[in-house]
Amino acid sequence: MNSFTEENYLKTIFNLSEKTGEVSVNELSKALDIKMPTVTSMLKKLASKGYLKYTAYRPVELTTSGKKEALLVIRKHRLTEMFLVDKMGFGWEEVHEVAEQIEHIHSPKFFNKMDEMLDYPTVDPHGSPIPDRDGKIQLKNYRTLNSFQEGDKIKILAVTNSDDGFLKYLNSKNLNLGAKLEILEIEEFDKSMNVKFKNNILTLSNKAADKILVEKI
Ligand SMILES: [Zn+2]
């Protein structure tokens, strides 16, 4: 069985590798907020368990079994978030920190029951795919809102960032998954955009539009 810390390393390496392809020890150290020598010794330990390949000065690479372990933790995290929203009435901005704790419970029965009670959801409250019980995940190729043009009509499918400040920002504009928008105007200067949502016109910063994943409708 892996420790809480080991699970967090595997999860963080997986998430970073999704974003950038390669994960350096330095990058990992920053993401975990743990000093390099400590990170290095944990990487050696995880390598000895067969979860990753580690060579000094080289990017860290998860093995197939390391990836699976990471995805099983992510499954528990995302199922928990869904459960908190769907069954317990939490807002989508309130669930991440709780899920960070619950994801380390080692009881397959607990999470399989949760999955069943939710009727086997495929995405979490932020639109991120939930890996299945074998650790398989269907990655989506959504594009960010700021890659679209004036006149495009789109639907929000996911957000790439689940920190509460960003989600509260979306709440303040009544935006949630499934919202349909029309891009009216993109500001030349800072790429902020005016969008039509229901009968209102909202302004979204480029920074926000970069974290919103959408599809054209
Ligand atoms: Zn989360």
CATH class of 143-216: mainly beta
Window from 56-65, 120-129, 133-142, 149-158 with minimum mean pLDDT: 133-142
Reported as a pLDDT band with limits 50, 70 and 90, residue 69 is very high
Reported as a pLDDT band with limits 50, 70 and 90, residue 62 is very high
How far apart are the CA of 56 and the centre of ligand 1, in A? 31
Residue 131 pLDDT: 96
How far apart are the CA of 99 and the centre of ligand 1, in A? 6
Q: Give CB contacts under 8 A, 24+ apart, made by 198-204.
A: 202/173, 202/175, 204/145, 204/173
- pLDDT higher at 162 or 134: 134
C-alpha angle 9-3-160 in degrees, rounded to nearest 5:
35
Which DSSP state fits 178? T
Residue 57 pLDDT: 87
How far apart are the CA of 96 and the centre of ligand 1, in A? 4
Domain boundaries, the chain: 4-62, 72-139, 143-216
Tell me what the mean pLDDT of segment 85-91 comes to: 97
How far apart are the CA of 193 and the centre of ligand 1, in A? 27
How far apart are the CA of 168 and the centre of ligand 1, in A? 15
Give me the chain's average pLDDT, please: 94
Tell me what the mean pLDDT of segment 9-18 comes to: 94
Domain 4-62 in CATH 3.40.50.720: no
Find all residues with CB under 8 Å of 138, minimum gap 6, and list them.
122, 129
> 72-139 has which CATH code?
1.10.10.10
> Cα–Cα distance between 59 and 68 in angstroms, integer?
19
How far apart are the CA of 6 and the centre of ligand 1, in A? 18
Residue 162 has pLDDT above 80, yes or no: no
Residue 83 has pLDDT above 80, yes or no: yes
> Do the first three CATH levels of 4-62 and 72-139 match, i.e. the same topology?
yes
pTM for the full model?
0.90
Residue 173 has pLDDT above 90, yes or no: yes
How far apart are the CA of 58 and the centre of ligand 1, in A? 29
pLDDT, tens digit (0-9, with 9 covering 90-100), for 183-205: 999 999 999 999 999 999 999 99
Nearest Cα neighbor of 12 from 60, 81, 55 is: 60
How far apart are the CA of 130 and the centre of ligand 1, in A? 11
How far apart are the CA of 102 and the centre of ligand 1, in A? 11
**E-strand stretches of the chain:** 52-53, 61-62, 143-144, 153-159, 180-186, 193-197, 200-204, 212-216
How far apart are the CA of 3 and the centre of ligand 1, in A? 19
How far apart are the CA of 21 and the centre of ligand 1, in A? 21
**Residue pair 104/48 in contact by the 8 Å Cβ criterion:** no
- Cα atoms found within 13 Å of the Cα of residue 65, Cβ hemisphere only: 9
> Cα–Cα distance between 208 and 214 in angstroms, integer?
13
pLDDT, tens digit (0-9, with 9 covering 90-100), for 19-47: 777 899 999 999 999 999 999 999 999 99
Nearest Cα neighbor of 211 from 179, 154, 172, 170 is: 170
List beta partners, residue 159: 212
